[in-house]
Structure 1
Amino acid sequence: NKPGKFDDADWVEMKKHPKVGYEIVKEIVFLKDQARAILYHHERIDGKGYPSGIKGDEIPLFAKILAAADAYDAMTTDRPYRPALTQKEAIKELRVHADKQFDRRISSAIIEIIKEESLT
C-alpha cells in the first residue's frame, strides 16, 4: 500500500499481482480452479482488463465472482489517495459497471447479498 497516487511504473508493477498469485498456487492440485480465478480476477467483461484481455464467457466464473467482491472491498476501504465509498455508493458502482467491468449476474447477486447482510 503506497501512500499517495500510483505513477505509471507503480501501475505496471501492480498489474503483475494476478500472475504472481497464480504462480504461487498453480501447482496446488486442490486450488486449480482458484488459481485461474486469481489469474483472471482483473479481466473485464468488455475485454479491457488484464493480464490477458479476455472477455465475457472466456473469464472463469470464480474469477468473475472474485473480481466483483474484490472491487467492492477496494471501493469500501480507505486508500491513501481517497476515502472509502459508502455502501450505497459502492453498490451504485457495481450497477454502473455491470456488463462492462463485471458480469451483470454476479454484480446483481453480490448487491443482493450486501443488502441482505448489510455488509460494509
Structure 2
Amino acid sequence: IDLSVLNKPGKFDDADWVEMKKHPEVGYEIVKEIVFLKDQARAILYHHERINGKGYPSGIKGEEIPLFAKILAVADAYDAMTTDRPYRPALTQKEAMKELEMHAGKQFDRKISSAMIEIIKEESLT
C-alpha cells in the first residue's frame, strides 16, 4: 500500500479506499507462498469481510468467512482502534470495547467480539 495513503492525515477519498482495499489480496499473495503460513493465507484474504456481507474483497458473510479470519478481523480492528493514526488519536480500551460490542453481529462475529472483550477485561485486571 502506498505510504502516502497509509499516512494520510485526513479522510480517504475514493482513490485512497481503492488502494487500501488491496492489502488483503496483497497479503494473501505473499503468505500463500510461505510453507508454514499457507494455511493462514485465507484468513488474511478475508479479514476485512463482515458478518453482514458488506466487507471486502469478496463480500462473503456469516459462516462463509473462515473462523481464523473472523478472529483476525476482531484483533486487527482492536489494534487499529487503540493505535494512534495520522487522522485520529488512539481510542481507550473502554472506547474500543464499546465499538467491538456495537459492531458485533454486523461487522464482527458476536461470539468472537464477546470473547475479545472478556480477554481485554481480564488482562486489564492483571
State TM-score, norm by structure 1: 0.94
Deviations 1:87-109 (Å, cap 9, x if unpaired)? 11100010010000000111011
Question: 9-18 or 28-37, which moves further after superposition?
Answer: 28-37
- Give RMSD over aligned pairs: 1.7
Deviations 1:58-77 (Å, cap 9, x if unpaired)? 00011000000000011111
4+ residue segments displaced more than 2 Å: 1-5, 27-30
State the Cα distance separating 1:119 from its structure 2 match: 9.2
State the Cα distance separating 1:32 from its structure 2 match: 2.3
Aligned-residue sequence identity (percent) comes to 92
Superposition map of 1:16-95 within 5 A: 16-95=22-101
Segments of 5+ residues of structure 2 without an aligned counterpart are 1-6
State the Cα distance separating 1:33 from its structure 2 match: 2.5
The answer to whether the 8 Å contact 2:8/2:87 transfers is no
Query: Secondary structure of the residue that 1:93 maps to in structure 2?
Result: helix
State the Cα distance separating 1:9 from its structure 2 match: 0.6
Tell me how many residue pairs correspond in the alignment. 120
Segments of 5+ residues of structure 1 without an aligned counterpart are none
State TM-score, norm by structure 2: 0.90
